[in-house]
């Protein structure tokens, strides 16, 4: 059952989404070759607690960490390790927060130094596909419209769209109805209504869409060992239009990137 939120609840969710966005911005300043994902995990946990929130993943479904860190061919659900990150790696960092009883859930794929051009393009297209999906999250549209927008955009580049893992409704639970696949058919699936909040999160592979799970019981990797990218925003349906609650602005500030990509999806000014 889809749980729609009041405007007051959506403001609480914006707070959770902004804490997790800030956390990723802080991590952006720490990410360099030699750092380990376990070190990042500890920094993130402290940062989230210092901001009056709880880590959203820690303990959820038995998750042992604050972050899920997926390096190179890892798609999602990578557990932090003591292996130092290297120049040329990409790392998808997925993070959750819980504050005022509501979850935030947000992910970004970072580059360490110079990465291969084809990998750089995968990240760019995957991030663009996130906005293609968000643009289709409007009153009266359906789950399949978002999935179609993402799939169509990424498959046009020859990329593989992961089927086994999907976006989701977000609220007092990390995973609420509806499931939000990154593939689909226009006009199919549950209808979007005012007050819905969803996490839209394309997981896109450079090669095959097929994936497998490692023996750790968590990490999902591409079947062909090629890189994978993951970007995620929390989005509310307000006045019939998508309103992004999370933001990459803290990451861009840390990395010195100028971008107005989220502007189209804001009905109120972002207060950083
Ligand atoms: Mg996530
Ligand atoms: Mg999610």
| Number of domains composing the chain | 1
The distance from CA 17 to its chain's CA centroid, rounded to whole angstroms, is 11
Q: Which residues are annotated as a binding site?
A: 77, 94, 105, 168, 175, 201, 232
Query: Domain with 252 in it: what CATH number?
Result: 3.90.230.10
- Assess contact for 114 and 26: CB atoms under 8 A: no
- Proximal ligand: closest to the CA of 20: 1
- Residue 1 belongs to a domain: no
Pairwise CA distance, residues 229 & 139, whole Å: 28
Q: 105 C-alpha vs ligand 2 centroid, how far in Å?
A: 5
DSSP states of 67-109 as a string?
EEEEETTEEE-PPP-SPBP-TT-EEEEEEEEEETTEEEEEEEE
Max CA distance (Å), the chain: 48
- Ion ligand 2: residues, CB < 5 A: 105, 199
Q: 54 C-alpha vs ligand 1 centroid, how far in Å?
A: 15
The size of the chain, in residues, is: 272
- Residue 26 belongs to a domain: yes
- Assess contact for 239 and 12: CB atoms under 8 A: no
- Residue 271 belongs to a domain: no
- Proximal ligand: closest to the CA of 96: 1
- Residue 261 belongs to a domain: yes
Q: Which domain holds residue 188?
A: 7-265
For the chain, list residues with pLDDT below 70: none
Q: In the prediction, which pLDDT does 193 show?
A: 97
Q: In the prediction, which pLDDT does 272 show?
A: 81
Place of tokens 């990137």: 257
Q: In the prediction, which pLDDT does 268 show?
A: 84
Q: 118 C-alpha vs ligand 2 centroid, how far in Å?
A: 26
Q: Which residues are annotated as a binding site for substrate?
A: 77, 175
Q: Which residues are annotated as a binding site for a divalent metal cation?
A: 94, 105, 168, 201, 232
Q: In the prediction, which pLDDT does 216 show?
A: 93
- Assess contact for 209 and 230: CB atoms under 8 A: no
Q: 94 C-alpha vs ligand 1 centroid, how far in Å?
A: 5
Which residues, in sequence order, are CB contacts of 21 under 8 Å at separation 6+? 104, 106, 246, 247, 248, 249, 250, 251
Q: In the prediction, which pLDDT does 65 show?
A: 98
- Residue 106 belongs to a domain: yes
- Classified as helix, coil or strand, 123 is helix
- Proximal ligand: closest to the CA of 93: 1
- Ion ligand 1: residues, CB < 5 A: 94, 105, 107, 232
**Cross-strand pairs, 179:** 168
For CA atoms 213, 219, 223, 229, the dihedral sign is: positive
Q: 83 C-alpha vs ligand 2 centroid, how far in Å?
A: 25
Pairwise CA distance, residues 182 & 129, whole Å: 9
């Amino acid at each position: 059952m889809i749980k729609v939120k009041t405007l007051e609840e959506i403001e609480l969710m914006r707070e959770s989404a902004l804490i997790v966005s800030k956390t990723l911005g802080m991590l952006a300043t720490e990410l360099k070759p030699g750092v380990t994902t376990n070190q990042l995990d500890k920094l993130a946990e402290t940062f989230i607690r210092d901001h009056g929130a709880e880590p959203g993943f820690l303990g959820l479904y038995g998750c042992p960490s604050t972050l899920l860190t997926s390096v190179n061919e890892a798609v999602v659900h990578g557990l932090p390790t003591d292996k130092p990150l290297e120049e040329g790696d990409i790392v998808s960092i997925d993070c959750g927060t819980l504050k005022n009883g509501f979850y935030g859930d947000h992910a970004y794929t970072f580059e360490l130094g110079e990465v291969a051009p084809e990998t750089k393009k995968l990240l760019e297209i995957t991030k663009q596909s996130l906005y293609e999906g968000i643009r289709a999250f409007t009153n009266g549209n359906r789950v399949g419209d978002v999935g179609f927008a993402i799939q169509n955009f990424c498959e046009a580049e020859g990329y593989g769209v992961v089927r086994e893992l999907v976006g989701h409704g977000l609220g007092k639970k990390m995973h609420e109805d509806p499931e939000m696949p990154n593939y689909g058919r226009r006009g199919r699936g549950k209808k979007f209504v005012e007050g819905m909040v969803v996490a839209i999160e394309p997981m896109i592979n450079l090669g095959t869409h097929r994936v497998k799970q490692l023996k750790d019981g968590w990490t999902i990797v591409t079947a062909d060992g090629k890189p994978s990218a993951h970007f995620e925003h929390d989005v509310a349906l307000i006045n019939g239009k998508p309103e992004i609650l999370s933001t990459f602005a803290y990451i861009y500030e840390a990395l010195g990137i100028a971008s107005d990509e989220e502007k189209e999806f804001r009905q109120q000014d972002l207060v950083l």
